[in-house]
A and B are shown apart, each in its own frame.
Chain A
C-alpha cells in the first residue's frame, strides 16, 4: 500500500509541476462551459416557446434532460480527446528517460506500479470532473433540477472517464513514444465511442454484442438516473481489463 501511494504521489507531483495537467483541465473547463451555455440558451428558448404554445398543449421542456443530460453526453466526447493527453506520458515517459529500469529493479511489484499510476490518474480525472460539476450546480441555485439523476449521471461520467484512463495507460505502457501513445489511445477510445454504430444494420447477436461492448450505451442508464448493476459491473470490468493489460505491457520488455 505504501508503495502504491508513493508512486501515486510522485505521479501527481509530475502532473502538477509540468503544465500538462493545468492545460488539460483548463481546456476541459472551457469546452464544458461553452457547451453548458449553449444547452442553457437552447433550453431558455424552448421554455419561452412552450409558454407561448402552452394554451395549445405544448410541452414544457425538462431541465434535466435538455441541459444536464446533454452536457454529460458532450463531456464524454470531450473526454475521448482529452484523456489520452493525460495518459500518454504515464509510462512512455518513464521508458524514454530510463526511470522505468529503476522502477522495475526496485522492490515494488508491477501491480503496485500499475495501481499507483492509475490512482494518480483517477485523482486528476475526479478533480477535473468535479470542477466542471460547478455548471450543473449552478442550475440548483437558479432552477429546480432533479438531484438524483444529476448525481447518478456524474457517477456515470466519472466511471466512463476512469475506463478511458485505464485504456490510455495500457496503450502508454506499450511504447516509449508519447505521441504514439497519445494518438493510439485517441483512436482506440474513438473506436470504442462509436463501436455500437453498425449495430442497427447488423442486427441479431452481433448487434447485442456491440451494444454491450459500447461504454456509451452502458452509461446511458446512469445518465438518465437509473443505477443498474449491469452498467456498474461493466465499467468495473472495463477498468480491470485496462489495468490488467497495463500490467502485462509493463512486463513486455522481458518477452524479447
Chain B
C-alpha cells in the first residue's frame, strides 16, 4: 500500500529527511516513531503530497506521490498535526464541505456524514462552531475529515496529542477499528500508544530510518522503550534541529 524508497528532503543546506525507506502492507497499522525534529512531519507531508521530495520516490496504492499526485490525493485521508478546521463553520457544515471536495457522490453525502459523526463520537457537537470546540473534539473532527471518504490509506500526524486519557483511549480504539480495512500510518512520540495500536514500527532519527520491524518481532527480547532509546541515542539526538515550520 505504501512503498517509500530513499525519500529525501532538504531545506537549503539543512537535510530534514535523508533517504527514508520503508513499506506498509494493506491492513497494517504502522507506528512512525521518532524524537521531536526527527523528520516525521516532513516525511508525512511528502507522503500526503503537500511537499515534493528533493530526491527519492514513494508510491501510495500504486501511484507515485509526485507524478500521480492527483490520484494519490483520492486514495489518502490525511490529518495534519493541527486539525485543519474552519472556525466559522459548524461541524456538519464543515463535513459537508469536506465530503464535496473529496468527491463523495451527492446521494451519499448525508449518509457518510452521519457515519463519521457516529464513528468519531462527535454527533453531540454537530451544530457547534468548530472554533468553540475543545482540543479533543477538534482532533476528532479532524479525524472524521480524514476518513469520511473511506480512503485506502490513512495518514495521521500525532492524532492523540493534547487529548485527555479517555479521549486517547477512544481514538486508539477508532484507529484499531480502521486498521481492519485500511492501511494506517500513524506518527507519534508516545511509545505505549504504538505497542497498543500498531502492528508494525518504523523508528526514524535524524532524518533516517533506524528500525523497521513488526511489533511482535521487535518486542520479543526487550521492551519498546529500551529499543527506542538505544536506536535513537546512536544518533546525536541533541543536534536534531527544530521542526521546520513550512508556510
In the complex formed, the residue of A with least CB distance to B84 is A102
Contact of B84 among A6, A14, A97 (CB under 8 A): A97
A107 near B80: Cβ-Cβ < 8 Å: no
Q: A10-B97, A14-B86, A97-B87 are in contact. Are A107 and B102 (CB under 8 A)?
A: yes
Name the A residues within 8 Å of B76 (CB-CB): 105
Q: Which residues on B sit within 8 Å (CB–CB) of A104? A: 49-50
Query: Across the interface, do B87 and A101 meet the contact criterion of CB distance under 8 Å?
Result: no
Contacts of A14 in B (CB 8 A): 86, 88-89
Smallest CB separation, A3 vs chain B (Å): 6
- How far, in angstroms, from A10 to B96 measured CA to CA in the complex? 10
Interface of chain B: mostly helix, strand, loop or mixed: loop
Is B73 at the interface (CB under 8 A from chain A)? yes
Residue in B closest to A255 when the chains form the complex, CB atoms: B52
Contacts of B93 in A (CB 8 A): 13
Nearest Cβ on chain A to B52's Cβ, whole angstroms: 5
Would you call A26 an interface residue if the criterion is a C-beta within 8 Å of the partner chain's C-beta atoms?
Answer: no
Q: Does B111 contact A (CB under 8 A)?
A: no
29 CB < 8 A contacts A-B:
A2-B100, A3-B100, A6-B97, A6-B100, A7-B101, A10-B97, A13-B93, A97-B82, A97-B85, A97-B86, A98-B80, A99-B85, A99-B86, A100-B84, A101-B80, A101-B84, A102-B84, A102-B145, A103-B101, A104-B49, A105-B73, A106-B73, A107-B73, A107-B102, A108-B101, A176-B247, A253-B246, A254-B51, A256-B246
| Given A98-B83, A99-B86, A105-B48, 20 new contacts (CB under 8 A) | A2-B100, A3-B101, A6-B101, A17-B88, A97-B85, A97-B87, A98-B84, A100-B84, A101-B50, A103-B101, A105-B49, A106-B102, A107-B70, A107-B74, A107-B101, A107-B103, A253-B50, A253-B246, A254-B51, A254-B52
